[in-house]
């Protein structure tokens, strides 16, 4: 993201309580960064006529199943092993798999998939998954 002025940072509560103040910031700086739990979560940008072509671009959703995404990430590890929580985070951060609601797979889903695909994965301890 390009330069961020501190005045562009807005708490999500301010967006809810005083949206007109947030829109003034967007008018002035052409964007506002919305903070949720003191972390940047959203960027509200001013529409420009030159941005019209954006609507013609297609957003491609991840096309891997969870076990395929697990294979990809684990195959890149030196010992083909990861903690389930780290595996879930890496899959989500790389955009390889998302649940239907757009959230990341939970650790219990990673474990369940590992136990269902015993020909591909080995559960070495309650939280360690290894690619065979």
pLDDT at position 128 is 95
Taking each helix axis as running N to C, give the angle between helix 84-93 and helix 107-116, from 0 to 180 degrees, rounded to the nearest 10: 100
Tokens 């030159």 belong to residue: 50
* pLDDT of amino acid 51: 56
Contacts for 110 with CB less than 8 Å, ≥ 6 apart: 66, 70, 84, 87, 88, 129
In tens digits, what is the pLDDT along the chain, a chain of 132 residues?
456 778 889 898 888 888 889 889 989 988 888 888 888 888 888 877 665 554 444 445 557 899 999 999 999 998 999 999 999 999 998 888 988 888 899 999 999 999 999 999 999 988 999 999
pLDDT of residue 1: 46
Q: What is the pLDDT of residue 64?
A: 87
Q: The whole model's pTM is what? A: 0.55
What is the predicted pLDDT for the residue at 57? 47
pLDDT at 50: 60
> What 3-state class would DSSP assign to 10?
strand
> How far apart are the C-alpha atoms of 35 and 25, rounded to whole Å?
14
């Amino acid at each position: 993201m390009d330069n961020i002025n501190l005045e562009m940072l807005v708490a999500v509560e301010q967006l809810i309580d005083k949206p007109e103040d947030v829109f003034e910031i967007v008018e002035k700086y052409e964007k506002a960064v919305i903070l949720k739990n003191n972390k940047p979560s959203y960027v509200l940008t001013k529409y420009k006529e030159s941005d019209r072509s954006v609507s013609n671009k297609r957003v491609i959703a991840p096309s891997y199943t969870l076990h395929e995404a697990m294979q990809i990430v684990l195959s890149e590890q030196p010992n083909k092993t990861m903690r389930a929580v780290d595996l879930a985070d890496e899959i989500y951060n790389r955009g390889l798999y998302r649940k239907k609601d757009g959230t990341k797979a939970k650790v219990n889903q990673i474990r369940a998939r590992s136990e269902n695909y015993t020909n591909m994965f080995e559960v070495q301890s309650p939280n360690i998954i290894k690619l065979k």
